Structure 1
Amino acid sequence: MSVEVILPCLDEREALPWVLGRMPPGYRPIVVDNGSTDGSAALAAELGAHVVTEPRRGFGAACHAGLLAATADVVCFMDADASLDPRLLPEVAWPVLSGRADLVLGRRVRRPGASWPLHARLGNAVLARSLRQRTGVPLRDLGPMRACSRAGLLALGLTDRRFGYPLEMVLRAAAAGWRITEVDVAYLRRHGRSKVTGTVLGTMRAVADMRGVMREVTNRVMREPSR
């Protein structure tokens, strides 16, 4: 069974050769260009990726555009900045492909020199703890490498198009009774500077977006009749 890999992309020309060159057999990359000015889209196409253009800026907008463009039964998501090794995708996707889980997240294990500053790790830890308390899902990381059913994810009806998209995915999946788990993946040094967690301000904005999503989705689910 083939798997499609959605890679939101904003000025990642430096990292794309390494990322796309390490894509495992049977894993087809969909690079979603979200306003790059460094030629990322053209390079991705030259390297054999299917390129989708999403003019509306936002991490969630790029992820969702890739989801809409995908056709495989199972999709993966990961960053295009070389902080995660595509060769680990089969380990993340296998529980979904084998029917043992509905959503799998890669729990990032920091390697020496990894581009994961303290403020970003603390923000992630706070959000993961809040998620465990609200849903009971035993996740320790809201990692960007993940795998799930394409049709199932579309049916969840995610609405956030900013930094809250990954969190809304987990919240909606938990509310729908999905089996959610995580596997360890190495977290490496990214190429270039992060657009989200590279600064304290960027991390604060991402955390604020995610907290807003957590409140909104939790309240909405509580108002919905049980199925």
Structure 2
Amino acid sequence: MNNSPFPLGDLVLPCLDEARALPWVLERVPPGWRALVVDNGSTDGSAAVAERHGARVVHEPRRGFGAACHAGLLAAEAPLVAFCDCDATLDPADLPRVAEPVRAGAADLVLARRLPASRGAWPLHARVGNAALARMVRSRTGVRLRDLGPMRVARRTALLGLGLTDRRSGYPLQMVVRAADAGWRIAETETRYLPRAEGSASKVTGTWRGTWQAVRDMRAVLR
């Protein structure tokens, strides 16, 4: 992974018990990007694994996906900031392509639409919930997205200017809504969505209950 003192971008990886997935994820971080693993109270040694693989570790004791993401944003220093799940479902090697429209000034926020690489990679309940939220976003903002992609890139200073406040599952949606309200150019590209690493379970979409909680959090943001 890249350890340049002057990276093009910081990759925020919110992490809760992902010790098995982290080695593969960190090995795939492309040159020009620095990994910021935000440990959100892991009990499986995730932080130590991340440090051994050269990542910068940020500790966020307050539980919540949004809390972890925002702690990473506050710790970031590079011009670009990317967000990505660290359960090995998304390949960080795709970052240069996803980030290029932002780097080139053609877009302000790019989200990578997930394309399942195999049957079962993306559970039905998660896809249904995501599709419903995408329709709500279109109705609320006019932005036509097919996926609220967890891999996304924007400029650090602009993201800080959005004043994001959600610290739960609604954080990614609040980012899109506030960016749209601010007149940002929001673009969508694609990325493969892989089966989760063995022993890794999604804290948000791995179960019907988790999906429902995420949808409820995000609907609250839209309201």
Q: Do the two structures share a fold, i.e. TM-score over 0.5?
A: yes
How many residue pairs were aligned?
215
Q: Indicate the residue corresponding to 1:199 in structure 2.
A: 207
User: In structure 2, what residue type is equivalent to 1:39?
Assistant: G
Residue in structure 2 matching 1:29, options 31, 35, 51:
35
Alignment of 1:58-137 (within 5 A): 58-137=64-143
CA distance in 1, matches of 2:136, 2:170: 14
Q: Is the 8 A contact 1:77 1:145 kept in 2?
A: yes
CA distance in 2, matches of 1:96, 1:63: 19
CA shift in 2, pair 1:114/1:19, >3 Å: farther
Structure 1 outlier segments of 4+, above 3 Å: none
Where 1:174 maps in the other structure, the secondary structure is helix
- Corresponding position: 1:168 with 2:174: yes
Any gaps of 5 or more consecutive residues in structure 1?
216-227
Any gaps of 5 or more consecutive residues in structure 2?
1-6
Q: Indicate the residue corresponding to 2:4 in structure 1.
A: none
CA distance in 2, matches of 1:44, 1:166: 23
Where 1:30 maps in the other structure, the secondary structure is strand
Residue in structure 2 matching 1:212, options 214, 220, 223:
220
CA distance in 2, matches of 1:154, 1:133: 25
> Share of identical aligned residues, percent?
66
RMSD over aligned CA atoms reads 0.8
Task: Kindly state the Cα deviation for residue 113 of structure 1 after the two structures are TM-superposed.
Answer: 4.1
Q: Indicate the residue corresponding to 1:222 in structure 2.
A: none
Residue in structure 2 matching 1:185, options 191, 216, 222:
191
User: In structure 1, what residue type is equivalent to 2:98?
Assistant: V
TM-score normalised to structure 2 length: 0.95
Deviations 1:121-178 (A, max 9, x none): 0000000011011111111100100000100000000000000000000000000000
CA distance in 2, matches of 1:201, 1:76: 27
User: In structure 2, what residue type is equivalent to 1:54?
Assistant: E
